[in-house]
Chain A
Amino acid sequence: MEKIIEAQGIGKSFGDTEALKNISFEVNRGEIFGFIGPDGAGKTTLFRIITTLLLPDAGRMTVMGLDCKTGYRELRRNIGYMPGRFSLYHDLTVEENLNFYATVFGTTVRKNYDLIRDVYSHIEPFRKRLAGKLSGGMKQKLALSCALIHKPGLLVLDEPTTGVDAVSRSEFWEMLNRLREENITIIASTPYMDEAMRCNRVALIQKGQILSVNPPEKIREEFSRKIFSVKSSEKYKLINALRNFPGTATAYPFGDSVHLTFRDNEQDHSLTGYLNSMGISDATISETRAGIEDRFLELMQDK
Chain B
Amino acid sequence: MRTILFLIRKEFLQIFRDRMIGKAIFAVPLVQMLILVPAVTFEIREVKLCIIDMDMTSESRKLIGQLEGSTFFRVSHSTFSENEARNLLDKNRYDLILRIPGGFGRDIGNRNPAAIHASINAINATTAQLSWAYLNGVIHDYNLNIIADNPGSIATAGIIPRTEITNRFWYNENLVYSHYMLPGILAILVTAIGFLLAGLNLVKEKEAGTIEQINVTPIRKHQFITGKMVPFIIIGLFDLALGLALGKLVFRIPFEGSIGLFFLCAAIFMISVLGIALFISNFSSSQQQFMFVAYFFMMILILMSGIFTPFESMPSWAIKFNMANPMAYLIRINRMIMLKGSGFRDIYRDIASLAVLAVIFTAFAVRRYRKTA
Contact = CB atoms under 8 A, between A and B. Distances in A.
Interface residues of B, number: 23
B13 A79 contact: no
A105 B217 CA distance: 7
Contacts of B3: 103-104, 106
Contacts of B218: 73, 76-77, 104-106
A100 interface: yes
Contacts of A91: 14, 17-18
A95 to B, nearest CB: 11
B309 interface: no
Given A53-B212, A83-B213, A103-B6, A89 B219 contact: no
A76 B208 contact: no
A35 interface: no
Contact of B219 (A51, A54, A104): A104
A48 B209 CA distance: 13
B218 to A, nearest CB: 5
Contacts of B7: 104
Interface in B1-50: 2-3, 6-7, 10, 13-14, 17-18
A87 B208 contact: yes
A104 B6 contact: yes
Interface string A100-117: 110111100000000000
B351 to A, nearest CB: 35
Given A87-B210, A91-B14, A91-B18, A55 B372 contact: yes
Nearest to B219: A104
Given A73-B218, A87-B209, A92 B14 contact: yes
Chain A interface size, under 10 / 10 to 19 / 20 to 34 / 35 or more: 20 to 34
A86 interface: yes
A77 B219 CA distance: 9
B160 interface: no
Nearest to A73: B218
Contacts of A146: 213
B14 A89 contact: yes
A76 B217 contact: yes
B373 interface: yes
Interface string A73-97: 1001101010101111111100010
Contacts of A87: 208-210, 212-213
B216 interface: yes
A91 B314 CA distance: 47
Interface string B156-196: 00000000000000000000000000000000000000000
A92 B13 contact: yes
A295 to B, nearest CB: 32
Contacts of A209: none
B372 A54 contact: yes
Contacts, number: 68
Interface string B294-305: 000000000000
A51 B14 contact: no
A52 interface: yes
Contacts of B10: 89, 92, 96, 100
Nearest to B14: A91
A81 B210 contact: no
Contacts of B2: 103, 106
Interface in B71-122: none
Contacts of B153: none
A68 B7 CA distance: 26
A90 B208 CA distance: 9
A80 to B, nearest CB: 8
B216 A85 contact: no
A97 to B, nearest CB: 9
B14 A86 contact: no
Given A88-B210, A104-B217, 11 more contacts: A48-B373, A52-B372, A53-B212, A53-B372, A76-B216, A89-B14, A89-B210, A92-B17, A101-B213, A104-B6, A104-B214
18 contacts: A53-B372, A53-B373, A76-B218, A77-B218, A79-B216, A81-B216, A83-B212, A89-B14, A89-B210, A92-B14, A92-B17, A96-B13, A100-B10, A103-B2, A103-B3, A104-B7, A104-B219, A105-B218
Q: Which 4 A-B pairs have the closest CB atoms?
A: A87-B213, A87-B209, A53-B373, A103-B6
